């Protein structure tokens, strides 16, 4: 059994991670650390876990008895954690924060559809951001073929869970319900990792990524719509994407229009393409808490330990 620990266990992504790991056939969840919830049962904070586990949160950290550590603390906290806790030799790490997504300090960027081979041999993996996952999966085949050019216009709508568990002015129900708004236009932090990786896939790429993030009035999921110049015809574009994702465990190219409910509660990304004149419209949908966070983290763990990639992640969409 793979013995796992979690740091920062009280948030939405940690709740989903716990839900997966307590039902994962190859994992024993050793501890879940949370200073704010220490002593409480996990199900007192993550109520959906009632009946699944009687484990409690702890405020102590012992890394000596585990094989893999998941870091779910706020962005910028990972460095502070390692400054206070030396990493034991042989411990594998999957960091869900943005601190090492530039692949510094020996981390591998954990987007399996792009870097599966590197992840399989990694000791430390930096999990991608949620918007970054949806958008990059919509762009990887074009970038890998050297076909990105000109303006790439992206609008992506995320559910309220993307803002974290602590309520705020733009997350509480009465503001979010029946409402829609944009934020961090052209400046969202996930553009840093997207632009970096596109540059590695397509050296010299001069395409300009214009990203408008939006807040939706639903709890979870991301729907990204990407419009770009494309000289391929519709059949060639579909063939390019299907060939690129032919061996992907969780990313699929649909011949029909897609909707968000197809992926919510799963680790899937589903992509659909439409060609209009010289423009290609790429739709990409994921669950922001699963493929955009905790599900992808477990997918990376599976790859690190050489077990089947889909283990513990055969989740059904909550379509109704």
- Closest to 19 in 3D by CA, of 251, 315, 222, 310: 315
| CATH superfamily placement of domain 130-286 | Dihydrodipicolinate Reductase; domain 2 (3.30.360.10)
* CATH 3.30.360.10 domain extents, the chain: 130-286
Cβ-Cβ contacts under 8 Å for 132 (sequence gap 6 or more): 101, 190, 193, 194
The domain over range 2-127+293-304 is classified in CATH as 3.40.50.720: yes
**Is residue 182 classed as helix, strand or coil in its secondary structure?**
strand
Q: Is the pTM higher than 0.75?
A: yes
CATH 3.40.50.720-classified regions of the chain: 2-127+293-304
Tokens of 19: 């839900």
In whole angstroms, what is the distance from residue 257 CA to residue 273 CA?
8
The answer to whether 288 and 222 are in contact (CB under 8 A) is yes
Listed in order, strand segments (DSSP E) in 234-278 are 251-254, 269-276
3-state secondary structure of 51: coil
**What tens-digit pLDDT sequence spans the chain (320 residues)?**
999 999 999 999 999 999 999 999 999 999 999 988 999 999 999 999 999 999 999 999 999 999 999 999 988 899 999 999 999 999 999 999 999 999 999 999 999 999 999 999 899 999 999 999 999 999 999 999 999 999 999 999 999 998 888 778 888 888 889 999 999 999 999 999 999 999 999 999 999 999 999 999 999 999 999 999 999 999 999 999 999 999 999 999 999 999 999 999 999 999 999 999 999 999 999 999 999 999 999 999 999 999 999 999 999 998 77
User: Could you write out the DSSP letters of every residue in 52-65?
Assistant: T---B-BS----TT
- In the residue annotation, 72 being an active-site residue is answered as no
Check: CB of residue 66 under 8 Å from CB of residue 77. no
Catalytic-labelled residue, pool 130, 205, 230, 269: 130
Edge-to-edge strand ranges of the sheet holding 151-158: 181-182, 208-215, 151-158, 222-229, 279-286, 269-276, 251-254
Residue 90: closest CA among 23, 26, 2, 30: 2
First to last CA, the chain: 35
């Amino acid at each position: 059994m793979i013995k796992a620990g979690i740091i920062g266990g009280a948030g939405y992504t940690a709740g989903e991670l716990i839900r997966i790991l307590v039902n994962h056939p190859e994992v024993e969840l050793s501890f879940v650390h949370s200073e704010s919830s220490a002593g409480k049962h996990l199900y007192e904070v993550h109520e959906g876990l009632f009946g699944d586990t009687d484990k409690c949160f702890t405020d102590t950290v012992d890394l000596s008895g585990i094989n893999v550590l998941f870091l779910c603390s706020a962005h910028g906290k990972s460095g502070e954690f390692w400054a206070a806790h030396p990493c034991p030799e042989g411990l594998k790490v999957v960091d869900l924060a943005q601190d090492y997504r530039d692949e510094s300090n020996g981390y591998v960027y954990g987007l399996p559809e792009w870097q599966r081979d590197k992840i399989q041999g990694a000791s430390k993996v930096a999990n991608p951001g949620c918007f970054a996952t949806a958008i990059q999966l919509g762009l990887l085949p074009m970038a890998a073929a050297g076909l990105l050019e000109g303006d790439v216009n992206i609008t992506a709508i995320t559910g309220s869970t993307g803002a974290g568990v602590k309520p705020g002015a733009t997350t509480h129900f009465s503001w979010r319900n029946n409402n829609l708004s944009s934020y961090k236009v052209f400046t969202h932090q996930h553009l840093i990792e997207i632009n970096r990786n596109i540059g590695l896939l397509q050296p010299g790429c001069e395409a300009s990524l214009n990203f408008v993030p939006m807040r939706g009035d639903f709890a979870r999921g991301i729907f990204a719509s990407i419009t770009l110049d494309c000289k391929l015809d519709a059949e060639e574009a579909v063939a390019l994407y299907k060939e690129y994702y032919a061996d992907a465990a969780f990313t699929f190219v649909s011949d029909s229009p897609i909707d968000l409910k197809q992926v919510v509660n799963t680790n899937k990304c589903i992509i659909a393409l439409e060609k209009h004149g010289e423009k290609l419209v790429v739709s990409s949908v994921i669950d922001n808490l699963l493929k955009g966070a905790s599900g992808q983290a477990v997918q990376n763990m599976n790859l690190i330990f050489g077990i089947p990639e889909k283990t513990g992640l055969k989740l059904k969409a909550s379509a109704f």
